[in-house]
Amino acid sequence: MEDRDQLKKDAYECLDKNNFSKAIEIYHKLILLKDFSKETLINLSVCEDQERLRFAREVGKLDGWNSKLYEAQIAFEIRCYAHAIAICNEVLSSFKLETKDAIRVHIIRLKASCLCGDNKFLIEDFMTIWKSGNIIKPFKKLRKEVLEFIAAIKDPCMLSALLTLTRENRLSGEIVEFISDKVNELKSLEKSIKSTRD
């Protein structure tokens, strides 16, 4: 039976060298040796995420916007939101996309923006996806998903972009009211956070 301490040491050496696939193998061995420690499970999860991102970056070097979108999707899934946004920006600026394909990119960028508190593209992405619901029927269901991500925003730095959306005359009164409620919630959160610093 292999020594757990030695396996952990070997795993750390692999992590130092960014050899995530080998580290995954070692963490699998540790788990099969019934090492279910928090450290082992977290390190395995991190290694798996990094290996997915490494492969996605490799795929992203292939020609075509689909390969880049794959990289953005994986970056989003493993919570590398800034990386996902950067790749989406690259795709939107470098490729001439059909509307349905551009919408897919805007969706990933909007979700990443909402989760990391980056408001630079929120209005553009929101309105692009929203307008597509008037043009392409299957995209109407995306409006619900967009609203769910707006509802999940927790960072008060998104206030300015959300306030701009409340003045958007192409949105119905109900949607403007929903966004206004979110603005009020974030203002209240910001005020509460400031009060804890006093």
Identify which of 150, 155, 156 has the alpha carbon closest to the alpha carbon of residue 176. 150
Residue predicted with more confidence, 143 or 89: 89
With a cut of 80, say whether residue 137 has pLDDT above it: no
pLDDT-based confidence at residue 121 (cuts at 50, 70, 90): very high
9-63 residue pLDDT tens: 999 899 889 899 999 999 999 999 888 899 999 989 999 998 998 888 888 888 8
Contact yes or no for 88/109 (Cβ under 8 A): yes
Identify which of 80, 41, 37 has the alpha carbon closest to the alpha carbon of residue 60. 80
Tokens of 185: 């919630």
Predicted TM-score of the model (pTM): 0.80
Please, what is the average pLDDT of the chain? 89
What is the C-alpha to C-alpha distance for residues 52 and 48, in angstroms, rounded to an integer?
6
Contact yes or no for 74/56 (Cβ under 8 A): yes
Question: Among all chains, which residue has been given the structure tokens 């292999």?
Answer: 2
List alpha helices for the chain, DSSP H.
4-16, 20-32, 38-60, 65-77, 81-94, 99-116, 122-135, 140-152, 159-166, 173-197
pLDDT-based confidence at residue 94 (cuts at 50, 70, 90): very high
